[in-house]
Structure 1
Amino acid sequence: MLIVVTGPPAAGKSSWIRAHAKPRDVVIDLDLMALAMAGPGADHHAHDPILLRIVHRARQAAIHEAERHLQDTDVYLIHTMPSTKARAKYKRLGARIVTVDPGEDIVRERVRLMRQPEMEGVVTRWYRDHRRGDSRPVTRQAMREW
């Protein structure tokens, strides 16, 4: 089964997956992939543009291959803001969509403390789209381990 985990930056998407995925499951997380491909000491969230280009290609290849194995294993995919087209694809694949959102105030504080400043814009877009109805119901997750 495909489980697509959405939510604003710093909401706890990776933490939610760590709490639910089993060792045999596949996890496609852009930040983890970038960290695995970066040199020692790389930041967990501020990625070099060249690295990001490479990781985005690797992520697409991983998603494509994982789609072929959904009958045999669970695949967890982090997709912060899936487009209408992506949501339609996920629906065709029978995906379960999980939205992790501890609330805008918590997210903004986490981004302020732990992410690069440009993530503020992503947070603003995510909540704007959510309020407009382009997002799905929210799973509250107020606490997470750092």
Structure 2
Amino acid sequence: MRHPCPTPGCPHTTPTRTTRCDHCTRRTGRAHRITLVCGPPCAGKNTYVTQHAQPGDLVVDLDALYRAINANPTRADHDQPASLTPFALDARDTILHRLLHGDHNLRAAWIIHSAPNPATRAEWKARGAKVVMINASLDTLTHRAHRQRPTAWVDHIHDWHRRYQPGHVDQTVTTG
């Protein structure tokens, strides 16, 4: 069964309700804008996305997926039980697969990811994403972690800094 192309005014059809037709995809190029927002824990990645995303934009955030599938709403924010990890990762990977394979009609997508490795950031850049590195001083990050996160987050911050390597594709934004 074929469906009308979701592009306003397009007379063509497409195999799914959400995919643009070949004509519109070729004519408009990318049907969406992807921004990879990366950096250490507590840097302000979510705050950046909240300030820049618009209603209807896709936000892919592993922390939010953990919250969505965790049955105990009284748990602290950013609680990531190991038993839920495979489910959260599968959900994230399924969303990213669909995003990258174009079966949608999004205006923009925001991917929140720590991405300390420059190869990961360069891979997203090669896929057409804008790469925004959010960072803050180690003192600021650890202070935020002590105030807002479970105890393990200070270790996550130090681990990120041990693994981090600058990359040539990064647009850096410094917070606090």
So what's the TM-score if we normalise by structure 1? Answer: 0.83
Match of 1:90 in 2: 124
Bigger share in helix? 1
Which stretch of the first structure deviates more once superposed, 115-124 or 46-55?
Answer: 115-124
Q: Aligned match of 2:145 in 96, 111, 115?
A: 111
Identity of aligned residues (%): 26
Number of paired residues?
Answer: 141
1:19 counterpart residue number: 51
The Cα shift of 1:79 comes to 0.9
Q: CA RMSD in A?
A: 2.2
**Unaligned residue ranges in structure 2 (runs of 5+):** 1-32
Q: What does 1:21-40 correspond to in 2, within 5 Å?
A: 21-39=53-71, 40=73
Larger RCO (CA within 8 A; separation ≥ 6): 1
Contact 1:6 1:97 in 2 (8 A): yes
Shift of 1:137: 4.9
Task: Measure, in 2, the Cα distance between the counterparts of 1:61 and 1:85.
Answer: 21
Residue pair 1:35, 1:42 contacting (<8 A) in 2 also: no
CA distance in 1 between counterparts of 2:121 and 2:115 reads 10
Question: Which residue, 87, 92, 96 being the options, matches 1:54?
Answer: 87
- Alpha-carbon shift at residue 50 of structure 1 (Å): 1.3
Whichever of the two has the greater Rg, that structure is 2
* Structure with higher strand content: 2
CA distance in structure 2 between the aligned counterparts of 1:88 and 1:116, rounded to whole angstroms: 31
Question: 1:81 and 1:38 mapped to 2: Cα distance?
Answer: 24
Counterpart selection for 2:111 from 71, 77, 85: 77
